[in-house]
Amino acid sequence: MPPQSEAVDSTDMAELLHAVGSRRDVQAFEALFRHFAPRVKAYMMRLARDGQAAEELMQETMIAVWNKAGQFDKTKGAASTWIFTIARNHRIDAFRRDRRPEFDPLDPAFVPDEAPPADDELEALQASARLHDAIGKLPEEQSALLRLSFFEDVSHNAIAARLNIPLGTVKSRLRLAFEKLRAALGHAGEAP
């Protein structure tokens, strides 16, 4: 005589699923579990290649079979097809979960920066005001080049083409502007 799990044919499986779905028949579910759990686990082992993951996915599948047995319709397919579809869907969900890490609220990308101390903010504002004041005191030809190069992020070649001046002139005017800014900011930053 074949083992009990092998003796159950597809018609019996459909009836067992119906019994689980309609009456929550524990014995019917036990018979389904004995028959399908090892097969689902073997299927998961082929896909996951991880015994622990295969065991967990088999358990999730069989719990879903218990919970969803009332949705099984034997006119649409065999019980085994329905159960292995549930198993496949659980495997896909697990794969997606594994590929997408859990949200970590302590991840530095999600933690807002601490507000800088008030004295640092004040110093930054004062330095910015000194810089703008120093740029405003530069000759127009030099301040225009600084604005184009650093505030508008225009390349030196593009500045030369836009203003119709040689590239060397652009570079020398920028160098002169930096020297004047260093001198102005160096004196402005010193303590009285």
Digit-coded pLDDT (tens) for 64-106: 989 988 888 888 888 889 999 999 998 888 888 777 667 777 7
Whole-model pTM over 0.75: no
- Is the pLDDT at 190 greater than 50? The verdict is no
Q: Taking residues 164-172, report their average pLDDT.
A: 91
Tokens of 151: 């505030």
Q: 118-188 — its CATH code? A: 1.10.10.10
- Is the pLDDT at 1 greater than 50? The verdict is no
Q: 4-99 — its CATH code? A: 1.10.1740.10
Residues of each domain in the chain carrying CATH 1.10.1740.10: 4-99
Q: 77 to each of 3, 14, 73, 137, 168, how far by Cα in Å?
A: 25, 9, 7, 84, 80
Task: Tell me the CA end-to-end span of the chain in Å, nearest whole number.
Answer: 105
